[in-house]
Amino acid sequence: KSIPASCTGRNGDDKKAGTRKGGKGRGGGGEAFVLKRSVAAKAAAMACGWDFCYEDSSGNNDNDNAGRGGVDAHDRVIRRADAFEDARREKLKALRGQAAYDAQVCKRQCPECRSVQSYDEVVEKRMRCPMCGVAYTKSMGNKTLAHRQQEVRHQAAARVRRWISLVVLGSRVAQLGKSLRSHRTVRRSSVRNIREERDHGISLADARRRRQMVESQRAIQRDALAWKVRMAEQPPSTKSSKAKHAIMSASDVGAMIQ
């Protein structure tokens, strides 16, 4: 592949003239002409991936100083070409990894917002969702789901076998003969249960009876209050007869309650 001239720093169109002391040249005062890389050439080199090598104005990169430990132009070009090739391989490697990750079916997801973990997060080992802050979890695959269903079936079958064994054991114990002491214990427990149920029933009946008496008393009080209000609103001629009738009705209700 041919190397762009703007990246090598040898194109006359992209250069800016400068001076350096120590020789004869076009400039006055014994200054020699020096070529420098322009801003456009540096930007082009960074855009194509050749930003690993640079040139300075100290004269170490000139051909005259190559034999004294300097670097000549040919070596600079080779280094930049190697750097460009490394960058290209890294880019291809990232593209292959992205394609392989996109081809995966089961990827880690956020349990809250259900967003899928991106390839950059996988490379940088970021295991939490940036929006929710919850750790990514991998969705259940078909094999895992089948395995869990099989485990549930085995547990259900074991539970049924255990209950069957308990029922069989209970039936066998019931068929065996009981001693006199066990019969006495069973009889006492049954008598105790009967007494507790009877006492509970009696207490419930008493509570019901007391509740009925309280409700009847409240009803009598409400009727008496309503009768007083009616008597206060009616004329005096009709108060005596209605008062006698009301007194008789209240006495009859009290006798019925007692």
Q: In this predicted structure, what is the pLDDT of residue 63?
A: 46
Helix axes 239-257, 180-233, angle to 10 degrees: 180
- Lowest-confidence region among 15-29, 197-211, 233-247: 15-29
pLDDT at residue 247 is higher than 60: no
More confident of the two residues 84 and 204: 84
Q: In this predicted structure, what is the pLDDT of residue 222?
A: 84
Provide the pLDDT confidence category of residue 48 given band limits of 50, 70 and 90: low
Rounded to an integer, the average pLDDT of 55-82 is: 61
Contact between 129 and 110 under an 8 Å Cβ cutoff? The reply is yes
Provide the pLDDT confidence category of residue 181 given band limits of 50, 70 and 90: low
Provide the pLDDT confidence category of residue 86 given band limits of 50, 70 and 90: very high
Residues 161, 167: Cα–Cα separation, whole Å? 10
Residues 96, 89: Cα–Cα separation, whole Å? 10
Residue count of the chain = 258
pLDDT at residue 53 is higher than 60: no
pLDDT at residue 39 is higher than 70: yes
Residues 6+ apart with CB under 8 A from 24: 30, 32
- φ/ψ of 37, rounded to 5, equals -75, 135
Rounded to an integer, the average pLDDT of 1-8 is: 50
Q: In this predicted structure, what is the pLDDT of residue 109?
A: 83
- Lowest-confidence region among 18-32, 88-102, 152-166, 226-240: 18-32
- Exposure class string for 76-100: b at 16+ Cβ within 10 A, else e: bbeebeebbeeeeeeeeeeeeeeee
